A and B are shown apart, each in its own frame.
Chain A
Amino acid sequence: GNSVTQMEGPVTLSEEAFLTINCTYTATGYPSLFWYVQYPGEGLQLLLKATKADDKGSNKGFEATYRKETTSFHLEKGSVQVSDSAVYFCALSDNYGQNFVFGPGTRLSVLP
């Protein structure tokens, strides 16, 4: 079945550091890939997405590139801020009428 694997957290960084959160997936066909962010006490919000191989999703300084050859969708940001502290979820949708599969989430803490 479909699955998503994320790097174990928590991740703690200093402000302005470079961020990478790894995400790899297993799926049939050509899934759509997503990153969601959950701020403390809130629901999940879509951060970015990519629907086909080599697409790059970007938003709020975050980027992720759909790499079919490595089945990966790693999240990156060049300079994190304290306000980026949240839990980040990688997810996929296989476009065959199946529902989303979410990764376990990676908690990011950014220190001033």
Chain B
Amino acid sequence: IAGITQAPTSQILAAGRRMTLRCTQDMRHNAMYWYRQDLGLGLRLIHYSNTAGTTGKGEVPDGYSVSRANTDDFPLTLASAVPSQTSVYFCASSDSVGETQYFGPGTRLLVL
């Protein structure tokens, strides 16, 4: 069982480019989340999905969009990347809202 996988592992991106970070879980969890982790700021929630077909905004949603077409996948899209989006991005899932969250290995993104 893989748990949660994220792709790519790392990426260097030119400002203004569009980028999709992929996240897939094989635990049949209902809820999924995207966080960014920045030095000194801890983890901040970008977007979440309580169940397939629904999404919601977290603490820092601007510049990001998500979709949840099925249970397993929860891609995060940066429509036009900016340097302030340089960060480490973590996807997570939980059986239901409020339950233990399980994290992927992260995607390290550098926007130049």
Contacts and interface: CB of A to CB of B under 8 A. Distances in A.
Interface string B20-42: 00000000000001000000111
Interface size class on chain B is: 20 to 34
B77 to A, nearest CB: 20
Given A43-B106, A99-B58, A93 B42 contact: no
A34 interface: yes
Interface in B1-60: 4, 33, 40-43, 45, 48, 50, 58
Q: Is the interface of A mostly helix, strand, loop or mixed?
A: loop
Contact of B98 (A32, A42, A43): A32
B58 A102 contact: no
B11 to A, nearest CB: 16
A15 B52 CA distance: 46
Interface string A75-99: 0000000000000010001111111
Given A49-B100, A93-B98, A104 B42 contact: yes
Interface of B: 4, 33, 40-43, 45, 48, 50, 58, 90, 92, 97-106
22 contacts: A32-B98, A34-B100, A36-B103, A43-B4, A43-B90, A44-B43, A44-B92, A44-B103, A45-B103, A46-B102, A89-B42, A93-B99, A95-B98, A96-B98, A97-B97, A98-B98, A99-B33, A99-B48, A99-B58, A99-B98, A100-B33, A100-B45
